[in-house]
């Protein structure tokens, strides 16, 4: 197991995007914020950190009251050599609106914005958040304003959603079923129900019964309005994949030294390899280390001998034994990952005494 040199990564001008990924509850948001802060303050890079997490942990740790869809300068950062830290939180509906506005003429865009199906889809459709995260990443990269973009991926049950959702949503919006609803507009304005009834008979009645007439009407109008955008969704999804495969992108898998989290990290590392995406390393948060070179069994034996003689020392030895046992369990979990991915560098981050909630706390992570 080789060590991950995080400063070498952050100072490398050839690295323009760092993607922090992993399962939920392992500290991705805090890690992303700490990486971005260090890149700005220590390595003088103009950095923006983008969080997809709807919780406001990033804003709180950066000392901001709120974040929105526009990069915001973080006050109190000690910029060096022109370094600058900005932060933002994805607003998926606003980003979807921006995509529509950028790729359709104003009248057609207004029709899309007013459509009930679009209003629901842009706010709640499965995969929309992850897709729009990649749209926002593409926008930030295309602007060429930042030396480094740090992405905190969504707290999904599976981190793979971040990779799969853009292509999945692109296929949906560019799919054959939706294209059927374009036919009325191309067939002299016949209603979707007339067309479907003529073409599908009893199937159309079943579809209408399940979905409802109004939903079908909304869907027909939505797809007709999107006619000029078909193909664009899939094309941008493919462009996003190419960005993620580019050597200028570095993936960091974040995990805690726990079996489920490391198992998810291993699964994600395998997927990155299959997709030819550059995995820079594994970051293990909340790792415990014993203070004394004493194993748990010896510490417990010594504590028993000191009972009634020096209770304070005995209690300290028992506390040490608990940490030693925890460290041994964590070492076994980490060894399992390293045996399978010996080529992946690893950085272990010690468990913090308190929760990180400000800039000083973020600085201490890589101090």
Question: DSSP characters for 122-146?
Answer: HHH-TTHHHHHHHHHHHHHHHHT--
Reported for 270-273, long-range contacts at CB under 8 A and 24+ positions apart, including other chains, are 271/160, 271/163
- Cβ neighbors of 195 (< 8 A, separation 6 or more) are 183, 184, 187
d(Cα 143, Cα 252) in Å, to the nearest integer? 23
- What is the Cβ-side half-sphere exposure of residue 166, based on CA atoms within 13 angstroms? 24
| Domain regions of the chain by residue span | 6-162+244-291+331-365, 296-326
Q: Describe the chain by its helix, strand, coil percentages, rounded to 5.
A: 55, 15, 30
**Inter-residue contact 362 to 30 (CB < 8 Å):** yes
d(CA 100, CA 19): 26
Q: The tokens of 283 are what?
A: 């970051």
Q: Which two tokens stand for residue 249?
A: 């992108």
* pLDDT the model gives residue 134: 79
Q: What is the pTM of this model?
A: 0.81
Angle, alpha carbons 118-192-210 (nearest 5°): 70
- Name which of 229, 13, 259 is nearest 108 in CA terms: 229
The residues near 260 (Cβ < 8 Å, ≥ 6 apart) are: 23
Q: What is the pLDDT of residue 232?
A: 66
Arch. (CATH architecture) of 6-162+244-291+331-365? 3-Layer(aba) Sandwich (3.40)
Q: What is the chain's pLDDT, residue by residue, as a tens digit (367 residues)?
A: 689 999 999 999 999 999 998 887 888 888 999 999 999 999 999 999 998 766 666 777 777 777 888 898 888 887 767 789 999 888 888 888 888 888 788 888 888 888 877 887 777 766 677 777 777 888 888 888 999 999 988 755 555 666 776 666 666 655 555 555 555 544 444 444 444 444 434 444 444 444 455 555 666 666 666 655 655 666 777 777 788 889 999 999 999 999 988 888 888 888 888 888 899 999 999 888 888 888 999 989 998 989 888 889 999 999 999 999 999 999 999 998 888 898 999 999 988 777 777 888 899 998 7
Q: How many CB atoms neighbour CB 78 within 10 A? A: 12
Q: What is the pLDDT of residue 99?
A: 82
Distance CA 356, CA 31 (A): 10
pLDDT of residue 171: 63
* Exposed e or buried b per residue across 326-355, where buried means at least 16 C-beta atoms within 10 angstroms of its C-beta: bbeebeebbeebbeebeebbbbbbeeeeee
pLDDT computed for residue 323 by the predictor: 92
What pLDDT is recorded for position 193?
Answer: 42
């Amino acid at each position: 197991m080789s060590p991950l040199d995080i400063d070498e990564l952050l100072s490398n001008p050839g690295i323009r995007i760092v993607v922090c990924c992993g399962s939920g509850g392992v500290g991705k948001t805090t890690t992303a914020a700490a990486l971005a802060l260090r890149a700005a303050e220590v390595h003088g890079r103009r950095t923006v950190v983008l969080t997809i997490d709807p919780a406001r942990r990033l804003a709180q740790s950066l000392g901001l009251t709120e974040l929105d869809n526009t990069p915001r300068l973080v006050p109190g950062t000690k910029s060096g050599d022109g370094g600058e830290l900005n932060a933002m939180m994805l607003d998926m509906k606003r980003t979807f609106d921006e995509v529509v506005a950028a790729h359709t003429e104003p009248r057609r865009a207004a029709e899309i914005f007013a459509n009930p199906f679009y209003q629901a889809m842009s706010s709640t459709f499965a995969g929309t958040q992850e897709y729009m995260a990649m749209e926002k990443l593409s926008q930030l990269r295309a602007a060429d304003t930042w030396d480094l973009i740090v992405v905190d991926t969504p707290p999904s049950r599976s981190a793979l959603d971040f990779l799969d959702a853009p292509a999945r949503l692109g296929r949906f919006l560019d799919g054959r079923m939706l294209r059927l609803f374009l036919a009325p507009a191309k067939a002299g304005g016949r209603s979707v129900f007339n067309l479907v009834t003529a073409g599908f008979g009893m199937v159309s009645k079943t579809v209408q019964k399940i979905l409802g007439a109004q939903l079908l009407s909304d869907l027909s109008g939505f797809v007709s309005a999107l006619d000029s955008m078909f193909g664009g969704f899939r094309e941008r999804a493919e462009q996003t994949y190419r960005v993620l495969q580019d050597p200028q992108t570095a993936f960091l898998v974040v995990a805690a030294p726990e079996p489920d989290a490391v198992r998810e990290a291993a699964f994600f590392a395998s997927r990155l390899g299959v997709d030819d995406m550059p995995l820079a390393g594994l970051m293990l948060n909340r790792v415990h280390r014993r203070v004394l070179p004493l194993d748990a069994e010896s510490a417990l034996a010594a504590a028993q001998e000191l009972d009634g003689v020096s209770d304070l020392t005995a209690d300290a030895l028992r506390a040490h034994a608990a940490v030693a046992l925890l460290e041994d369990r964590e070492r076994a979990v980490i060894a399992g990952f390293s045996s399978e991915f010996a080529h992946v560098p690893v950085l272990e981050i010690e468990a913090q005494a308190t929760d990180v909630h400000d800039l000083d706390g973020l600085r201490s992570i890589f101090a």
